[in-house]
């Protein structure tokens, strides 16, 4: 340690290094800068100035005549030797007191008596005078901000640690959380508020909510600000309605802070900050929204009284617009969400001696306004309005913080970005089912193609299919599908290929619904199947040798056991011959030996089952006769669907 010997003259000396100061009979003022270890024996009338406020020191009697001041981080010790009758002044950054050694050999610091070695000053009992230290103390600062863990998983917490320098114990650092897609539902706690600093450090735990949305990794920013001076935070304000406050320009609506506001130069804390003029109300009940605009903020009588000037009551101090989300509440509507936008007039802030320090409001404000407080009506008394917008009662609660400071006060700012890992499990869902046509003819190989759009689904996920309406497996080639799979681009597809039948059913309608897992199915639009068949007649085995007229309609043969025959009169090129339930590929068509014009007989033979049907066709032309014994020619002559072996 250096030894510093004073020359005996009256003097003021700044000490910025470790030293043992040896005084003299002169009147001496020692300005001890922040950091060094110093020892000194003051004489009567001397003065010792230290750099920090009283709260940042531990003051203890450490010897018979020794008083030691240790700063909060333990890196600085100022040792003062106190002699009987040699009173001296001790100044801190926030006020002054006196120190002496009385005749009882007690060291007194102001009103605090340290009778024995080890006794400490109770700082809460020590009343300081108005004279502050002249030491140019270090500027307060936010030295660093750290989040642990970073990134943080949804469903867990991260702790934000704010480290500062030269910020008094008990002071607060304001914070606001912002980020693209970040809102109040992402955190189990407010998006803005304050962090108390003690021993130049403060912490904030941020629980992150585990939601079901798959969003990927997100990033939020913690915006931090410290006001080196007086501040007033408009935080989580409430808009209430009290009919008794209506009068003049006041509508009965009023703006109240969530906690009493300590406005600089006000004689007391105030909760109700302003009344509100009558709004212009536009209610859109169909869409569940309402806009209350054109609202003037009028300085409240309570705040005017606290400022000592009743004439300020009713002064226009800003503007408000409420863009509300509504939910039905009986015959009325309750405000359940949205944004309240606020601006404060510069002239009003000047009158109050205030300036904006930090905007920690989470929502984008309406055009021309400054703050976007988020409506957060999660209480049991939401604001209820009639269908025409007339208030019935209740409150509008908000989240957000607007920090105001005394004019000229310095604002120290810092930010920290933190990543959030998305731990949500993607739950696939069908969002749309569409078809390429709305109408299809009941004709072989006519198709309807469905496209199923999904979200959060993985390739290969199963999509369950439900057909509703007049469709069944007989109407299509193959079976109706029960499920399909998600392919590329989050899409699944279904193709239905229709088959012509001989049933006269008229138009049939159906829909396709699709779902993944337990979700509610999503339905397509209605598909209409136009019937292209005419009425049919079935021949049973006992109807052997029955005669039918082809002009009455096409004839369908249903094979069963036994042999039987049927004659069809008036058969021409407009008629269709269908053979149903002939599933054996060994079936043959046997020509009759008679090939004269006008009448021919053919036989269908199923050797496996021993079933033969003889069909006599009447009134044929010679061209049609020859076609009977050559199936491709037969199809050409009578049409593609004339002979169906299914």
Q: What is the pLDDT of residues 143-195, one digit of tens each?
A: 999 999 999 999 999 999 999 988 989 999 999 999 877 777 789 988 999 99
Residue 551 has pLDDT above 70, yes or no: no
Asked if residue 194 lies in contact with residue 173, where contact means CB atoms within 8 angstroms, the answer is yes
Distances from the Cα of 534 to the Cα of 308, 570, 604, angstroms: 98, 17, 23
Look up the pTM and report it: 0.54
Most confident of 49-63, 555-569, 628-642: 49-63
Decide: 244 and 158 in contact? Cβ < 8 Å: no
pLDDT at 538 over 50: no
Band of the pLDDT at 360, cuts 50, 70, 90? very high
CATH of 141-228, one of 2.30.30, 2.60.40, 3.40.50, 1.20.120: 2.60.40
Comparison of pLDDT for 452 and 621, the residue scoring more: 452
- In DSSP terms, 6 is beta-bridged to none
**CATH class for the region spanning 429-530:** mainly beta
Tell me how far apart the alpha carbons of residues 491 and 430 are, in angstroms, rounded to a whole number. 9
Longest CA–CA separation in the chain, Å = 155
Order of all β-strands in the sheet with 66-71: 2-5, 19-22, 38-40, 77-81, 66-71, 57-61
For residues 145 and 208, give the distance between their C-alpha atoms in angstroms, rounded to a whole number.
Answer: 19
* 305 three-state secondary structure: helix
Q: Are 463 and 515 in contact (CB under 8 A)?
A: yes
Strands (DSSP E) found in 302-400:
316-329, 332-344, 354-360, 371-375, 384-385, 391-393, 396-399
Residue 534 above 50 pLDDT?
no
pLDDT at 271 over 80: yes
Q: What token pair was written down for 370?
A: 């400054």
Look up residue 352 and give its two tokens: 């109050």
Beta strands, E only, 522-592: 522-523, 527-530, 536-539, 546-549, 554-558, 563-569, 577-580, 588-591
Element (H, E) at 622: helix 622-628
**579-629: per-residue pLDDT in tens?**
544 444 445 555 554 455 666 666 666 655 556 666 667 767 766 666 665
What's the number of CA atoms in the CB half-sphere (13 Å) around residue 617?
27
Q: Which residues contact 286 (CB under 8 A, 6 or more apart)?
A: none
Non-local CB neighbours of 632 within 8 Å, separated by 6+ positions: none
């Amino acid at each position: 340690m250096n030894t510093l010997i004073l020359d005996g003259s009256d003097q003021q000396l700044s000490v910025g290094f470790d030293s043992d100061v040896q005084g003299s009979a002169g009147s001496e003022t020692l300005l001890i800068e922040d950091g060094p270890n110093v020892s000194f024996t003051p004489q009567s009338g001397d003065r010792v100035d230290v750099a920090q406020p009283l709260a940042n020191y531990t003051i203890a009697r450490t010897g018979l005549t020794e008083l030691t001041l240790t700063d909060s981080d333990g890196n600085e010790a100022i040792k003062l030797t106190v002699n009987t009758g040699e009173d001296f002044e001790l100044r801190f950054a926030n006020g002054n007191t006196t120190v002496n050694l009385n005749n009882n050999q007690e060291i007194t610091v102001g009103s605090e008596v340290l009778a024995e070695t080890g006794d400490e000053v109770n700082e809460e009992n020590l009343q300081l005078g108005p004279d502050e230290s002249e030491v140019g103390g270090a500027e307060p600062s936010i030295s660093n901000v750290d989040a642990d863990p970073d990134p943080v998983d949804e469903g867990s917490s991260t702790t934000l640690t704010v480290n500062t320098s030269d910020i008094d114990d008990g002071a607060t650092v304001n914070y606001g959380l912002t980020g693209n897609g970040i809102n109040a539902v992402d955190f189990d706690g407010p998006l803005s508020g304050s962090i108390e600093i003690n021993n130049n450090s403060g912490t904030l735990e941020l629980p992150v909510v585990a939601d079901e949305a798959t969003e990927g990794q997100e990033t939020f920013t913690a915006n931090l600000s410290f006001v080196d001076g007086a501040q007033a935070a408009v935080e989580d304000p409430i808009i209430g309605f009290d009919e008794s406050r209506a009068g003049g320009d006041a509508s009965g609506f009023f703006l109240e802070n969530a906690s009493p506001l300590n406005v600089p130069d006000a004689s007391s804390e105030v909760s109700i900050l302003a009344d509100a003029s009558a709004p212009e109300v536009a209610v859109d009940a169909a869409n569940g929204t309402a806009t209350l605009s054109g609202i003037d903020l009028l300085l409240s009588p309570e705040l005017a009284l606290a400022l000592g000037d009743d004439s300020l009551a009713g002064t226009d101090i800003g503007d408000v617009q409420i863009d509300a989300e509504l939910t039905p509440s009986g015959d009325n509507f309750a405000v359940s969400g949205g944004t309240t936008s606020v601006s404060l007039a510069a002239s009003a802030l000047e009158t109050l001696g205030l300036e904006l320090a930090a905007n920690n409001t989470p929502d984008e404000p309406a055009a021309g306004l400054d703050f976007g407080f988020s409506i957060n009506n999660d209480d049991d008394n939401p604001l209820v309005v009639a269908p025409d917008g007339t208030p019935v009662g209740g409150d509008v609660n908000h989240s957000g913080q607007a920090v105001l400071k005394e004019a000229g006060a310095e604002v120290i700012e810092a930010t920290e970005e933190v990543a959030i890992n998305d731990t949500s499990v993607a739950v696939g869902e069908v969002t749309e089912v569409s078809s390429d046509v709305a109408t299809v003819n009941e004709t072989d190989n006519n198709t309807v193609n469905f496209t199923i759009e999904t979200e959060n689904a993985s390739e290969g996920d199963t999509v369950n299919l439900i057909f509703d309406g007049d469709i069944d497996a007989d109407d299509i080639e193959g079976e109706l599908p029960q499920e399909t799979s998600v392919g590329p681009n989050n899409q699944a597809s279904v193709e239905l290929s229709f088959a012509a039948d001989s049933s006269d059913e008229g138009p049939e309608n159906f829909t396709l619904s699709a779902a993944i897992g337990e979700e509610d199915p999503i339905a397509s639009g209605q598909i209409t199947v136009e019937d292209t068949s005419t009425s049919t007649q079935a021949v049973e085995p006992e109807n052997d040798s029955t005669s039918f007229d082809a002009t009455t309609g096409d004839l369908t043969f249903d094979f069963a056991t036994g042999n039987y025959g049927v004659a069809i009169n008036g058969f021409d090129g407009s008629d269709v011959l269908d053979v149903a339930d002939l599933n054996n590929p060994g079936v043959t068509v046997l020509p009759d030996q008679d090939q004269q014009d006008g009448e021919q007989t053919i036989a269908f033979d199923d050797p496996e089952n021993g079933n033969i049907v003889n069909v006599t066709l009447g009134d044929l032309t010679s061209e049609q006769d020859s076609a009977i014994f050559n199936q491709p020619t037969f199809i050409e002559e009578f049409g593609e669907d004339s002979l169906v072996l299914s």
